[in-house]
Amino acid sequence: MKFLNPAGLWLLLGVPVLIIIYLIKSRHTDLPVSSTYLWRLSERFRKKRLPVQRFRNILLFLLQLLMIVAVSLLAAKPAVVNGERYDYIVLLDASASMNTRDDAGISRFRYAVKQTEELAEYVRKGHTLSVILASDTPSLLIEHSDSLSEIKHMLNAASCSFGVCDTATAMELAGQTVSRCENPRVIFYTDRDYAGTEGLTVVNMNKNEWNVSVDGLAASAEKERPVFTGRLTSHNLDADVAVGLRIDGKTVDARTVTLTAGIPAEVSFDAENLIHYDTAEVFIEENDGLAEDNSYALCRRNTGIHRVLLVSASPLYLESALNALGNCEVTVVPTTISTELSGYDLTICDNTLIDRYPDSGSVLLFGLHALPPGLTFGEIVAEETPLTIVRGHDSDFYDGLSLGDTVVSAYAGLIGDASWEPLLTCGDTPVLMTKEFAGGLRFSAASFDLHDSNLPMQSGFVTLIRNLVDLSVPAILRDTDWSVGETVTLTVLPEALQLYAELPDGTVRQFDTDALSCTLPVNGPGIHTAVMTTADGGEYVDFFVHLPAEESSPAAAADDMLSLSVDLPEGASDELLSEIAVWVAAVFLILLLIEWGCWYRDTY
Partner 1 sequence: MRNVIDGAFIAMLEARDLQIKHPMNGLFGGARRVKAYGSSAEFADYREYHAGDDLRRIDWNLYARFEKLFLKRFTDERQLHHRIYIDASASMDWGEPNKADTALKLAAALGYLAVQAMDRVTFYAIHDSAAEDISRTVVGREAFYSAAKQLNAVKFYGDSDFGRAVGSQENPGRGDGISVILSDFFTDSDWKGAVDYLRYHNRDVHLIQVLSRDEIAPGYSGKVRMLDAEAPDEEDDRTYRTEITRSSMKAYEEAFRWHRNELRMFCTSRGAGFFTVCSDERVEKMLFEQAAKGGMIT
Binding region for partner 1 (CB under 8 A): 25-47, 601-604
CB nearer to partner 1: give 64 or 279. Answer: 64
CB nearer to partner 1: give 379 or 602. Answer: 602
The least CB distance from residue 22 to partner 1, in Å, is: 12
**What is the DSSP-derived secondary structure letter of residue 399?**
T
**What is the DSSP-derived secondary structure letter of residue 10?**
G
CB nearer to partner 1: give 273 or 603. Answer: 603
What distance in Å separates the CA atoms of residue 236 and residue 191, rounded to the nearest whole number? 14
The least CB distance from residue 574 to partner 1, in Å, is: 41
The least CB distance from residue 46 to partner 1, in Å, is: 5
CA-CA-CA-CA torsion sign (252, 255, 257, 262):
positive
Cβ pair 81, 126 in contact under 8 A = yes
The least CB distance from residue 586 to partner 1, in Å, is: 27
Please list, in sequence order, all residues whose beta carbon lies within 8 angstroms of the beta carbon of residue 571, skipping any fewer than 6 positions away. Answer: none
Nearest alpha-carbon partner for 465 in 321, 323, 312? 321
Q: How far is CA 65 from the centre of its chain?
A: 53
The least CB distance from residue 598 to partner 1, in Å, is: 9
Cβ pair 174, 200 in contact under 8 A = yes
The least CB distance from residue 25 to partner 1, in Å, is: 8
Strands, sheet with 295-299, edge to edge from the N-terminal-most edge strand: 250-259, 239-247, 279-284, 295-299
Give the gyration radius of the chain's Cα atoms. Answer: 37
Provide the Cα torsion 60, 61, 66, 69; round to 10°: 150
Bridge partners, 141 (sequence order): none
The least CB distance from residue 593 to partner 1, in Å, is: 19
CB nearer to partner 1: give 27 or 391. Answer: 27
The least CB distance from residue 173 to partner 1, in Å, is: 56
What distance in Å separates the CA atoms of residue 554 and residue 101, rounded to the nearest whole number? 12
CB nearer to partner 1: give 57 or 519. Answer: 57
Cβ pair 256, 241 in contact under 8 A = yes
SS3 state at 163: coil
What distance in Å separates the CA atoms of residue 160 and residue 481, rounded to the nearest whole number? 23
Rounded to 5 degrees, φ, ψ at 331 are -115, 125
Tally Cβ neighbours within 10 Å of residue 566. 16
CB nearer to partner 1: give 27 or 356. Answer: 27
Nearest alpha-carbon partner for 5 in 142, 131, 152, 146? 146
Phi and psi based region of residue 236 (left: phi greater than 0; alpha: psi -120 to 50; beta: remaining)? left
The least CB distance from residue 588 to partner 1, in Å, is: 21
The least CB distance from residue 28 to partner 1, in Å, is: 4
CB nearer to partner 1: give 33 or 157. Answer: 33
